[in-house]
Amino acid sequence: MAKREISEINAGSMADIAFLLLIFFLVTTTMDTDTGLIRKLPPPPEEEIEQIDVKQRNIFEVLVNANDQLLAEGEYIQVTELRKKAKEFIKGDKNNPEMPEFAVEEVPVFGTMEVSKQIISLQNDNGTSYEMYIKVQNELIGAYNELRNELAREKFGKTYDELVAQSESSETIENQMQAIKAIYPQRISEAEPKKIGGSN
Amino acid sequence: MSKFRKKGGKGQPAISTAALPDIVFMLLFFFMVTTTMRETTLKVKVVTPKATEVEKLERKSLVSYIYIGEPIKALQAAFGTAPRIQLNDAFATKEDLFQFVEMEKDKRDEAERNMITWSLKVDQDTKMGIVTDVKQELRKVQALKINYSTKKTDKILD
């Protein structure tokens, strides 16, 4: 057979196709990055339980029962109303004897300042659904986050989230973040759940 | 007439292998991406609830997972529908948590053992009883940094 000239198939676009497929898979396969509400559990109780007296006015009581009904400060409310109520409580009012007391504390950047002694007490039932529990947690965390953001924007012109994101690069921002945190410390105390109302 | 005739009768042209590396790399990347996705096979049904204030978990290597939920359909005949705890690849009871925590701590460097986040992947229909039991066990073994795994949403409803 005589030798014939053979023209090669143009493979120039093969790489493009390969990259196209690669990008397609990269985009469509969702990497399972976990997101959630990060909380800190209290350390285990020691043998002698210290009785700490907290005045009733400093506590914002949140109860959730087995039917996923919510009681905040003795008032039956919906989850969507909880954030506003919690914000009012955390922010406090110096002239209102119903609202939490203020204590003078040392705060970075601002120096001595009056800080509210607020505590949020959350108690749920063993029969409460996890979905409801997360909703309540979310609203309480959201109340703190919103207040922190408002304060940070007022004082430093940035939201608290931005301060947190930039805190590693600069010490001033780190201090500013700590100051906001000291004014609105997240105090969510979880009581042992009740065992009434049917568990599983 | 001769318009459609091939330029001379030709044999089989050699297939170019120039793009072969691309294909190989593509496959490589694809498998790299997919194989890291799941470390455990889920034996419980977990649909995590939605929340607005979610944070991203950083340093995936320092996260250990605890799954709680109903057994999946295929296993319901054998295990029933009561919510169960899954650790690694097997069902567990809350008594097993102690051992699980110790084993997970052992896997990490000593310096990082207290930085482990315990991510609770709990089905939204689960009752709080079992979740609280798990939380109490975690407290006992000083595994205090926990994460309630939730999906991000813009608004929560009543």
Architecture of domain B50-150: 2-Layer Sandwich (3.30)
- Tell me, yes or no, whether A49 lies in a domain: no
Give pLDDT tens digits for A116-148.
Answer: 888 888 888 888 898 898 889 899 999 999 999
User: Does B139 reach chain A within 8 Å, measured CB to CB?
Assistant: yes
Q: At which residue do the structure tokens 């002694």 appear?
A: A117
Please report whether residue A11 resides in a domain.
no
The shortest CB-CB distance from B123 to any of A18, A34, A130 is to A130
Write down the pLDDT at residue B68: 92
B38 — contact with chain A (CB < 8 Å)? Answer: yes
| pLDDT, mean over chain B | 82
In a domain, A6, yes or no: no
Cβ of B23 and A134 within 8 Å? no
pLDDT tens per residue, chain A (200 residues)?
Answer: 566 788 877 766 766 766 777 777 666 665 667 788 888 888 887 776 667 777 788 888 899 988 888 888 888 888 888 888 888 888 888 788 778 888 888 888 788 888 888 888 888 888 889 889 888 989 999 999 999 999 889 888 888 888 888 888 888 888 888 888 888 888 888 877 766 554 44
* Test mutation, A21, A32, A40, A41, chain B, max B CBs within 10 A: A41
For residues B131 and B68, give the distance between their C-alpha atoms in angstroms, rounded to a whole number: 8
Model pLDDT, residue A199: 41
The rounded distance, in Å, linking the Cα atoms of B96 and B94 is: 5
Spatial contact of B148 and A36, defined as CB atoms under 8 Å apart: yes
Best residue in B10, B20, B22 for a mutation probing chain A (most A CBs within 10 Å): B22
Answer yes or no: is A148 within a domain.
Answer: yes
For tokens 């000083």, name the residue. B142
- The residues with which B50 forms a beta bridge, in sequence order, are B151
Cβ atoms within 10 Å of A167's Cβ, excluding its own: 16
In a domain, A199, yes or no: no
Provide the ipTM: 0.74
Q: Across residues B73-83, what is the average pLDDT?
A: 87
> Whole-structure pTM over 0.90, yes or no?
no
What pairing do the DSSP bridges indicate for beta strands A75-77 and A102-107? unpaired
Residue A103 within any structural domain of the chain: yes
Q: Do B131 and A19 touch (CB under 8 A)?
A: no
Sequence ranges of the domains in chain B: 50-150
Decide if A33 is inside a domain.
no
| DSSP assignment letter at A129 | B
**Closest by Cβ to B150, choosing from A36, A79, A193:** A36
Cα-based angle A85, A89, A95 (whole degrees, multiple of 5): 130
Domain interval for residue A153: 56-190
* Number of domains forming the structure of chain A: 1
- Residue A40 lies inside a defined structural domain of this protein: no
